[in-house]
């Protein structure tokens, strides 16, 4: 059965959803964005099949509406939906990073006969805008759905059938569970990242060299501080209660660290890092979680510079793009020393087949 989907907000997430849904031969995607340049780019780039300047008018004729706007704008759209006269069969969903206030609004919509099933794909990046959209952004990521209690199972299944084109792992949770979990793994870490950058900035003119040294670890840890401030203003405002609880726990944790440093007992400090390493090393790596992910391929090549050129030439010949390439300096590990990163699992698989076919080197996927 043919389905028409209206995506409102064609940035990183809306654009990526639109591209993913177009993998279905039975889906037609129409887009709207408040920014007319974005709307035009989305059409020119084929992110959507068609665009509209009047979402209210087109909404009555579509099967599914996806709001992929900053979460405060989503609440405003939901309020205006009440007067649109949508047919009862329309499914409305969103991609917002918060869920409690949105599902409270969904409850109001239900009183008007409108079906809203909250959604949140737990993948993305610090980048924003339609140019950063990718059809495989959600591959293997968790995609949380927060239907209201008593939601019609067939309706939820219909939405799930559509969202399978994102290749994400769909998961149902309540809005409260959602907002707690995301405060821990996503919202509060964004505040920590921003605070570290502020701390670096405070070095200011007294120590101008410090920021030149902010490489490796500091950059890894603070990448998400480069995210869209409007997005994070809205997320923080909507989930500020949960985030405040995380902040209180963090302050207690920092007090514990301060005490460890005051006492200066080496074994306790080592233990602090060892425990963190153990927990971090055991985090599941088979899924994307909330984080930006690279798809690495380990190639066990002889340790000489020519092998890098050889491998990249094979990949170029088969037009497989790489995003990064590096040498791991130890050969003690079971893995090879050349680590090549790809944009998605598909490219990595093609690369593995290509290298296997053309070289004697062993390859590993971690
Ligand atoms: N950035 C990320 O990694 C993730 C973001 N999300 C959520 O997805 C939603 C969209 O985020 P992104 O795509 O990253 O943001 P973005 O900044 O890349 O795109 C947002 C788009 O919405 C448009 N927009 C803003 N206000 C609008 C309005 N009132 N009406 C119509 N269009 C409007 C903007 O012009 C822009 O094109 C947000 O709710 C965010 O919380 C969810 C998962 C990951
Ligand atoms: O860039 C990253 O690692 C992110 O944290 C991406 C992200 C941003 C917002 C979300 O609601 C979910 C994931």
Q: How far is CA 257 from CA 55, 88, 266, 303, 315, in A?
A: 53, 55, 12, 42, 47
Residues of the chain with CATH 3.40.50.720: 3-173
330, pLDDT greater than 50: no
Which is nearest to 85 in space by CA: 104, 61, 105? 61
Closest ligand (CA of 13): 1
147: enclosing H helix or E strand: none
Residue spans in the chain of domains classed CATH 3.30.2130.10: 295-364
Ligand nearest to the CA of 190: 2
- Tokens encoding 200: 């670096």
Q: Which ligand has the shortest distance to the CA of 79?
A: 1
- Span 76-130, pLDDT tens digits: 999 999 999 999 999 999 999 999 999 999 999 999 999 999 999 999 999 999 9
Ligand 2 atom with least separation from CA of 231? 9
- CB under 8 Å to 270, separation ≥6 — which residues? none
Ligand 2 pocket (Cβ < 6 Å) reads 97, 122-126, 186, 224, 290-292
Tell the CATH superfamily of the 295-364 domain.
Answer: VC0802-like (3.30.2130.10)
CATH of domain 3-173: 3.40.50.720
State the pTM of this model: 0.83
What is the pLDDT at residue 328?
Answer: 64
CA 330-336-340 angle, 5° bins: 105
Query: Dihedral, CA atoms, 122, 125, 128, 132, nearest 10 degrees?
Result: -100
123 CA from centroid of ligand 2 (Å): 6
Q: Is the pLDDT of residue 282 over 80?
A: yes
> 178-282 maps to which CATH number?
1.10.3660.10
> Which protein residue's CA is at the shortest distance from atom 1 of ligand 2?
125
ipTM value > 0.90: yes
Helix (H, G, I), strand (E, B) or coil at 109: helix
Residue-level pLDDT at 335: 46
Is residue 29 pLDDT above 90, yes or no? yes
Which tokens hold the place of 58?
């087109």
């Amino acid at each position: 059965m043919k389905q028409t989907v209206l995506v409102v907000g064609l940035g990183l997430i809306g654009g990526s959803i639109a591209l993913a849904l177009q993998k279905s031969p039975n889906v037609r995607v129409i887009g709207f964005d408040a920014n007319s340049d974005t709307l035009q780019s989305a059409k020119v780039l084929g992110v959507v099949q068609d665009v509209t300047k009047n979402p209210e008018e087109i909404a009555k004729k579509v099967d599914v509406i996806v709001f992929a706007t900053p979460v405060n704008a989503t609440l405003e759209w939901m309020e205006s939906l009440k007067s649109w006269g949508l047919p009862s069969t329309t499914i409305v969903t969103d991609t917002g990073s918060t869920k409690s206030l949105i599902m409270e609004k969904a409850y109001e919509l239900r009183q008007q006969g409108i079906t809203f099933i909250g959604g949140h794909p737990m993948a993305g990046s610090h980048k924003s805008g339609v140019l950063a959209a990718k059809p495989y952004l959600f591959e293997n990521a968790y995609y949380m759905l927060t239907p209201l209690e008593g939601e019609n199972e067939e309706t939820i299944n219909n939405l799930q059938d559509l969202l399978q084109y994102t290749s994400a792992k769909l998961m149902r949770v309540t809005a409260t569970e959602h907002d707690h979990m995301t405060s821990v793994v996503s919202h509060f870490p964004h505040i920590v990242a921003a605070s570290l950058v502020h701390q670096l900035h405070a070095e200011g003119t007294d120590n101008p060299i410090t920021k030149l040294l902010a490489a490796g670890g500091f950059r890894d840890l603070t990448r998400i501080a480069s995210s869209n401030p409007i997005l994070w203003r809205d997320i923080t405002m909507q989930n500020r209660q949960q985030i405040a609880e995380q902040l209180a726990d963090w302050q207690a944790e920092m007090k514990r660290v301060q005490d460890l440093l005051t006492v200066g007992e080496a074994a306790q400090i080592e233990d602090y890092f060892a425990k963190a390493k153990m927990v971090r090393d055991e985090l599941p790596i088979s899924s994307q979680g909330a984080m930006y992910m690279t798809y690495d391929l380990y190639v066990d090549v002889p340790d000489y510079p020519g092998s890098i050129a050889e491998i990249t030439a094979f990949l170029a010949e088969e037009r497989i793009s790489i995003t990064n390439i590096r040498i791991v300096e130890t050969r003690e590990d079971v893995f090879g020393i050349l680590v090549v990163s790809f944009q998605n699992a598909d490219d990595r698989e093609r690369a593995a087949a290509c290298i296997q076919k053309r070289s004697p080197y062993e390859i590993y996927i971690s």
